[in-house]
Amino acid sequence: MRTVRRTTTASARLGTRSFATSGDVVNVEGNAYFPLDSVPEGVLQPSSTTSVCPWKGVASYYDVHVDEQVIPDGAWTYRHPLPLARRVRGRVAFWNGIEVDRN
């Protein structure tokens, strides 16, 4: 089983622009999973990219739109995670130049 823990507060930002903040973040394998509803409408646009994790399941990706910038496949979610990863259901994680600040 992988380490899963909660963080008090975390923010996702692109450059100096913070676009998501939550006090209900789940950390798994170094990735901060934010509740989907903590990300403003329009920031996440579905991508056709998927990947498979042997213990979390199939990940679906999003292009991330912040102001005039677009980060292709900059976020992912597990819509139907496997049982060991059930705590990431309904959550999204970021990468590809998107920084996560944890407090």
Number of alpha helices (DSSP H) and beta strands (DSSP E) in the chain: 0, 10
Percent of the chain with pLDDT over 70: 92
Beta bridge partners of 13: 18, 99
Which domains, and CATH codes, for the chain?
4-102 (2.170.150.40)
Percent of the chain with pLDDT over 90: 86
Which pLDDT score, from 0 to 100, does residue 67 have? 94
Which pLDDT score, from 0 to 100, does residue 103 have? 79
Spacing of C-alpha 18 from chain mean position: 14
